[in-house]
Every structure is written in structure tokens, then in C-alpha cells.
Structure 1
Amino acid sequence: MLNIFKNKDINEIPVPNHVGIIMDGNGRWAKKQGKPRVFGHKAGMDSLQRAAIHGQKMGIKVMTVYAFSTENWSRPEAEVKFIMSLPIDFYEKFVPVLNKENIQIRMIGERDGVPKSTIDAIDRASIDTKDNTGMILNFALNYGGRNEITLAVKKIAQSINDGIISVNDITEEMIADNLETSILPKEYQDPDFIIRTSGEERLSNFLPWQAAYSELYFTDVLWPDFDEAELEKAVEIYKKRDRRYGGLK
């Protein structure tokens, strides 16, 4: 294989523009501490703040974090209730800090079914940070990739039914424009790099369309222990990848 880094300093290689993170291992981290699972979710929020601030400093443009999947509703009711309260705490504790760091807050995912207080906290965070020009911290909350694609197909089918477009008008770009990530700048909608913590090696319905050519990185580190050094380590590994997008170099 051609070594594209042979005569190139790794520091000259750009960081990924869009990083997706599957923040896994909060419950296991808490168990190791002899604490309830919710203790791990709270610690995970501290880790998220660290990752967001350091990602911004590294030059990452978008960081999409898998905060709660559509499948997570099957967890114990008390745990779900606690997770849904975290955005409220996040708004009070972390948004002022992220605002000072010039970070924007956005959200993708189904709003229906999420407690109003949770949605209100995220909406307030989005409004408070809308004029910031730095990294976008994008929460995937009550998000499921297959559901996202299904909803996009329904919207396109409705446009066909209404006579606005024909079947032959459907393109990959049109599908992308109807996905929830269309709220992001077009050049950054697909993640370049997806990180999953805790040792699991699957995407778990996270951005399946957008991740078609994403580089994947799996680490045994539990999310609350994923600090600035771990993020830098992951990005250094990304920089060594040979991204060919199906072609040859």
C-alpha cells in the first residue's frame, strides 16, 4: 500500500471536520466505582464538556454525540428519567462555559416523547449559542438512524404524491437534504470519524447513512474516563488512516 505519510509530518494532516461519538460505558464505570448507574451518566457529562472544549481547540468543526437512542427507552424507568434530566443540568452548569468557548449547541432526533423540560433546556441552549461561530456540539437525542431514514423517505414520497417531484428526481443529495443532519453545514454533514468507547464495536443505529465512509475507532476506555489525551490519541490514529472512498491512491 502506498504510504501517503512517508514525506509528510502528521501534524500537517488536518483533524477530522466532523467527529461522531458513541458515549458508551457510563453504567459500567459507575459499577466499577460501586455506585448506581446514574452516577456514571452524571460523570459522563463532565467528560462531554472536556471533549467538546478540547475538540474545539483542536479545530474540529462538528461533534455529534449519541446522547440517547430510540432503543434506550427500554432501560429502567428511573434511569431514563435521570438521563432526561441531564440536559437541564447541562444547561445550568455547562452551557455558560461552552458559550464562552464559542461553541454552538444543536440537536437531532425525535422531539415527540421527550419531556418538555428536556426539550426546553436544549432549545434554550441552542438559542443562547446560536451566534457562536466555533464548533457545533450536536446532540443526537431520542435518535435512531433507521427511523431518520424512514422519515426522510416519507417526506420524499409525500412530495411525489403531491406532484412536486417525480421518482426520477430522487438523488442521494435529495435524501441527505431530508435527513436530520441537514441542519448542519452541508460540507460537514457526514462524520469523517466515529469514536465508540467501552469496547463495543458496532454503530448501534448511529448515523447509518452519514457513516458510509466514516473512519471507525473503538476503544476499551469507558466514556467517563475519556479525557483530552484520549481524544488526541484517537485523532492521531485517524490521521494515519488512508481514506480512499472506494478509489485508489
Structure 2
Amino acid sequence: MSLIEQIDKDRVPEHVAVIMDGNGRWAKQKSMPRVFGHKNGVKAVRSTIETAGEIGVKALTLYAFSTENWNRPKLEVKTLMSLLVSSLKNEVKNLQKNNVKLQAIGNLNLLPEKARKELNEVINLTSNNSGIILTLALSYGAREELTQAFQKISQKIVNKELMPEEITEKVINNHLYTFTLPDVDLLIRTSGEQRISNFLLWQIAYSELYFTDVLWPDFGKEDFLKAILNYQNRERRFGKTSEQIEKIDNE
């Protein structure tokens, strides 16, 4: 039985987030510059989007560029921004064919004008698609996201639009970049690193975490399906006991 045949379509995670790590190490192993790894990582992005859509994942969020990444060598940053523009142009047909709706989160104003323009064009072109929602986290940092959310909430309190006792988890969630998305069910990180790296700190509160040694450019369909199967073999308790979960399932 193939991996995809083993997937229980009724228990597919609704929202999967991916920290795409290992491009630089992949290139180094091949005695190539780091940007070579980033270019080859595009194939893994395409494969992951298509596989996620095929099995019924509703939302896929990819950590493409963090706020900390701006501190990388200028040539690498410039190349990454150029790659973003070219990739978006090249992937429009695939996104449309697979009914993918694109959106982006992060401090997008920091992106170069050309990259921001291309991003907005593709977002507009795919806005009516009804399939998987693909979110690119660009110039994104979870602490910055939370800080901005608290600032907006505080301003509403100052303006007497909101009372402190009215602040709930829902109110906070509604002020995040991801307010239209469900919480993350499964977080995948490639390359063997086992840390969150300031990614969706609020949204992954009850996520299952999956770490793989596979470097991002080598991450293919089978690797994604292995992560999904691993997720489906876990018991998600959300603070309850196994007995409580079993009772709920049997009701």
C-alpha cells in the first residue's frame, strides 16, 4: 500500500505550517553557494503545496523569510527577493490550476517594491480560488506580530472602544495576521533542527511538532506524507486525559 493510500482523509490536519530549513546546508554539501539551495528549494515548495491540496489540507503556511533574515549577507537577501519575484511569476499557472488561494503575512512594507508588487498581483489573481489557502510568511516574526496586536488592542482601550476585561483569546486572535486561519494542527521543520524560530508562537499552542533530518530541497511528496501519517498516529488531548478523549470519540 502506498503512503497516500494509508492517509485517513477524515483525519487530515486542517492547517499545516512548515519551517523550510536546510537550503544553505544542502548547497554546501554540493560545494555550491547558498543561493543555489534556495533556488532548488522552490521544487519542494511546489511539491508540498500540491500534496497538501491533494489530501485535503485546507491551509498551508510556509515560513519563507523571517524578520531576522534581513541580517543575512546583502547579496543573499537580494537574491532571495529576486527569487521570490521570479517564483511568483512562474508559479501563477500552477496556483490557478490547483485552485490555490495565496495570501501573505508579516511586515510586508519592508519588502522591495518590485517583490511587493508581484506578490500583490498574484494574491489578487488567486483571490477567488476556493482550494487550499497558501500563506507565505515574509518578513515575519511572531514576537513582532504579538507586539503589534497588543498595541492595537491597547489603543482600542485608550479610545474606550474596548474594556480590559473584554480581552479574550478571541480578541487577541482577531488582531493577529492570521485571524482568518484556524490554529495550526501540525508544524513541520526540516533539516534536523528542533526549534520554533519565532514562528506562529500563538497559533501553535496545541500543534503537533514534526522534525525531520531531510534538508528542504530534498523534501518531497513522500516526506510530507510521512509527516501526515506520523500526525495521524498521535493522540491529540488538548489538556484532557486519554480516557476523556476516548469517551468523546465514542459519543
Cα distance per residue 1:74-116 (max 9 Å; x no partner): 1111001111112211122112111111011100000222101
Runs of 4+, deviation exceeding 6 Å: none
Select which of 48, 63, 79 maps to 1:66. Answer: 63
Residue number in structure 2 paired with 1:228: 221
Residue number in structure 1 paired with 2:135: 138
Give the CA deviation at 1:10.
6.3
Give the CA deviation at 1:200.
0.3
Question: Are the counterparts in 2 of residues 17 and 61 from structure 1 also a CA contact under 8 Å?
Answer: yes
2-side partners of 1:113 and 1:12: how far apart? 39
2-side partners of 1:72 and 1:204: how far apart? 11
Taking every aligned residue pair, what percent have the same amino acid on both sides? 46
5+ residue gaps, structure 2, are: 1-5, 243-251
Question: Are the counterparts in 2 of residues 13 and 239 from structure 1 also a CA contact under 8 Å?
Answer: no
Secondary structure of the corresponding residue to residue 86 of structure 1: helix
Residue number in structure 2 paired with 1:39: 36
Cα distance per residue 1:127-147 (max 9 Å; x no partner): 110111000110000000000
Q: Where does 1:1-249 land on structure 2 (aligned, <5 Å)?
A: 11=8, 13-184=10-181, 188=182, 190-249=183-242
Secondary structure of the corresponding residue to residue 204 of structure 2: helix
Aligned-residue CA RMSD (Å): 1.2
Cα distance per residue 1:217-246 (max 9 Å; x no partner): 000000000000000011000000100000
Give the CA deviation at 1:182.
1.1
Residue number in structure 2 paired with 1:6: none
**Pairs aligned (count):** 237
Question: Are the counterparts in 2 of residues 50 and 227 from structure 1 also a CA contact under 8 Å?
Answer: yes
2-side partners of 1:70 and 1:154: how far apart? 19
TM-score (norm 2): 0.92
Cα distance per residue 1:141-170 (max 9 Å; x no partner): 000000000000000000000111111110
Give the CA deviation at 1:120.
1.0
TM-score (norm 1): 0.93
Residue number in structure 1 paired with 2:247: none
